[in-house]
Structure 1
């Protein structure tokens, strides 16, 4: 699943995100969702989340079953 639809994402899911500084390279960072930061129901570049590690980025892949 991609991370463009807010209702697919919830706290505790394992996801891959792209950090702001990694957007040019597309390097993915793996982690667990702590907070959902995007308010709109969908976003073409991925829903912005904060991981339990404190890193913030846009979801590219959802690794846990929804």
Structure 2
């Protein structure tokens, strides 16, 4: 599932994000959502979140099922 709709993202969800420093390469970082930072309902580049793992911040590219790990 794409990460462009805020309503699709839940605290604790497993997601792939692209960090600001990785925007050029598109390298993805996997983790669990700690906080949702984007206030609007949608964002064309993905909803911005903070991950539990290392408090990393980036835009959601994919929402995963726990079995996708």
Q: Same fold (TM over 0.5)?
A: yes
Q: Which runs of 5+ in 1 are unaligned?
A: none
Instruction: Summarize deviations over 1:22-51 as a string: whole Å, max 9, x none.
Output: 000000000000000000000000000000
Runs of 4+ that moved beyond 3 A: none
Offset at residue 64 of structure 1 (A): 2.5
How many residues align? The count is 65
TM-score, length of structure 2 as denominator length: 0.91
2:35 & 2:11 partners in 1: Cα distance?
6
TM-score, length of structure 1 as denominator length: 0.96
- Aligned alpha-carbon RMSD (Å): 1.0
Paired position in structure 1 for 2:21: 21
Secondary structure of 2:26's counterpart equals coil
Q: Does 1:64 align with 2:65?
A: yes
